[in-house]
Amino acid sequence: MIMVQQDQLIQFQELALGSRLKRLSDHLMKETAMVYRDLQLNFDPYLMPIFKLVSEKDRLTIGELSCALRVTQPAVTQFVNALIKRKLVRIAIDKTDKRKRKVSITKTGIKMLADLAPIWKVIDNEMKILTHHRKNKTLLDHITYVENELANESFSKRILKKIKITPSEKVALENP
């Protein structure tokens, strides 16, 4: 990652807001994927919103998921298919309206949810730490603060440190 102090997107100010948000999002997704990989969880961070919503409000249609998350139906379908491929959710025909297909969590999904829940709690807490910095007056100031903090210590390290298992410790635990 480019050092934030030399970052040209900062110089572009509000003009580059979308680019900075996209870059920050991509960075957080990559780091979260590293956490899942290091903890040997076959999960993609992009799937979290759909998976979490299905786990909380079982038997939702693609349209209901789309409306609840304000994401296009084709995007929801793509994410649901990825979750089906991992056997975390399934689709069943609605008993009262055969035209509707309802998405629900599987037993494998329930197990994955149990594995992910404590990690999501740590991720949520780390994001709160990163996003509740009171010195920042503008959104751009705040984004710069978050970028600087992540340049100082990666998001994945922050999470794994709180989980208290680093990749090397996991290897040590698996190979006594």
SS3 105: strand
What DSSP designation does 102 have? E
**Nearest Cα residue to 41 out of 96, 123, 101, 98:** 123
**Nearest Cα residue to 131 out of 117, 150, 157, 152:** 150
Confidence category of residue 2, pLDDT binned at 50, 70, 90:
very low
Cβ neighbours of 158 (radius 10 Å): 22
Question: Which amino acid, 146?
Answer: V
Residue 113: C-alpha distances to residues 74, 83, 110 (Å): 24, 12, 5
**109-147 pLDDT tens trace:** 999 999 999 999 999 999 988 888 777 677 788 888 889
SS3 23: helix
**31-90 pLDDT tens trace:** 999 999 999 999 999 999 999 999 999 899 999 999 999 999 999 999 999 999 999 999
Name all domains of the chain by residue range, CATH numbers in brackets.
4-174 (1.10.10.10)
